Amino acid sequence: MGTSFIIDIENLSYVYSNSGVKALSSLSVQSDMKSGILAILGPNGAGKTTLVNVMTTSMPLQTGKIKIFGYDIARNRDIIRSLIALCAQGLELDLLLSIKANLWSYGLIRGMKKETLKKRIDYLLELFQMKEKADRRVLQLSGGEMRRVQLMRTFLDETAKLLFIDEPTLGLDPLGRKVTWELIKEWVEKEHYFILTTNDMAEVERLSSEIVFLYKGQKLAETTVEEFKKQYAGRIKINIKTGNENSKACIRKWSSKNKVNVLHQSGHTFTLECKDILIFLDLLSEISRKGGEIEGLSLQQETLEDAFINLIEKMEGFHGNN
């Protein structure tokens, strides 16, 4: 093995032969996945699914090198396959079979012992509250229930050390989401690793501390959620509802003087944007000094979603200008 990286990708490129589209371009990612969860982010067409397909050996390796747990994907495909599990975004279930039959056949195909398999199926059916429907055909389930079955199948075999989950909680109700998040955290504690591809930024903020951001097949960032937010979403928005004309005049004057961006103004309501929260204290004391009144005040820190959008807009602007 000889490396401490869980994921070691070196100069990975992938071109779809039928369309000629270059989905990945000289991509390199080295991660020891200390937090246990790595989220692959990026806009549609960034290459996320291609990357997961190549990493899970679903598609052949064209150029570059990938090592997972130190095993070279080109030489140790079978070992890697025995260490991973995939929960794709598509259904990927036997629709005509019952939930139990789907889980049972998959467990046997993964080489699980019947005794362990039975216990795991019972546990997961209970956990995902699907026991009553265990003998129902997958075809008869709702979209959210099908997703639960897929997740149950992904979490069936505890020998899978690296789990790839595409949009983990897509279509799940709040309870299903809670169960999934708790299960992921529980497995992380047991030294399992997760690679998530998702467009749900709230989920990423909740679960991951490490992200890889892809754009047009290239890596734009490999960092933590906090660092990413700091870099691309450091701004703070303040909404102020003024009580009189004094306050309005004061805000206008103050923002112009301090070069604070007024994002929006409608009637008595202002939305200001700034990088430093302390500067707003100055505004408030200014309003107070000038006899102004404030009826409402709220602060809003930019989220990961804002960081995502900011980075995309920056890149689109960059590409647009070139």
Partner 1 sequence: MGIIEGFVYREFNLKRASLGTFLAQLINPVIYVVFFATSMSGLLASVEYRGQTYNYFIFVLPGLLTLQTFLVFPFVGSLVASDKRFGLIRTFFISKGTPSKYVLGKIIVEGAVVFVECFFMLAIGFLFSGFLPLISNLLLMSIMIGLAFLFWLSLGILFGLFVKGEVSRAAILTLTNLPVLFTSPMFYTLNEVPAWVSIGALINPLRYHVDSIRDAMFGILSPTTFIIVLVMSSLTLLISLLILKKASITP
- Binding residues vs partner 1 (CB under 8 A): 53, 56-60, 78, 81-82, 84-86, 88, 90-97, 101, 104-114, 137, 157
Q: Which is nearer to partner 1, 53 or 180 (CB)?
A: 53
Would you state the structure tokens that stand for residue 216, as one six-digit string? 């047009």
**In Å, what is the CA distance from 32 to each residue of 24, 66, 163, 251?**
22, 14, 15, 48
Q: Which is nearer to partner 1, 197 or 209 (CB)?
A: 197
Least distance to partner 1, CB of residue 82, Å: 6
Least distance to partner 1, CB of residue 60, Å: 7
Max CA pair span of the chain: 77
Least distance to partner 1, CB of residue 128, Å: 18
CA 100 to chain centre: 29
**Which letter does DSSP use for residue 133 in this model?**
G
Q: Which is nearer to partner 1, 61 or 279 (CB)?
A: 61
Alpha helices by DSSP H, listed for 128-268, are 143-154, 174-189, 201-207, 225-232, 245-257
Would you state the structure tokens that stand for residue 277, as one six-digit string? 């929260």
CA 87 to chain centre: 14
Q: Which is nearer to partner 1, 164 or 308 (CB)?
A: 164
In terms of Cα–Cα distance, which of 234, 232, 282, 236 is closest to 255?
282
Least distance to partner 1, CB of residue 146, Å: 12
Least distance to partner 1, CB of residue 104, Å: 7
Least distance to partner 1, CB of residue 177, Å: 23
Q: Which is nearer to partner 1, 158 or 245 (CB)?
A: 158
Least distance to partner 1, CB of residue 49, Å: 9
Would you state the structure tokens that stand for residue 144, as one six-digit string? 């959210």
Least distance to partner 1, CB of residue 185, Å: 24
Q: Which is nearer to partner 1, 2 or 90 (CB)?
A: 90
Q: Which is nearer to partner 1, 15 or 315 (CB)?
A: 15
Least distance to partner 1, CB of residue 21, Å: 14
The Cα 317–Cα 279 span in angstroms is: 29
The Cα 144–Cα 196 span in angstroms is: 18
* Environment class of 151 (CB within 10 Å of its CB; exposed 0-12, middle 13-18, buried 19+): buried
Segments of the chain assigned E as strands: 7-15, 22-31, 37-41, 63-68, 71-72, 84-87, 162-166, 193-197, 210-215, 218-224, 236-242, 261-266, 269-274, 294-301
Q: Which is nearer to partner 1, 102 or 242 (CB)?
A: 102
Q: Which is nearer to partner 1, 22 or 137 (CB)?
A: 137
Residue 250, CB-side half-sphere exposure with 13 Å CA sphere: 23
The Cα 244–Cα 292 span in angstroms is: 6
The Cα 287–Cα 251 span in angstroms is: 7
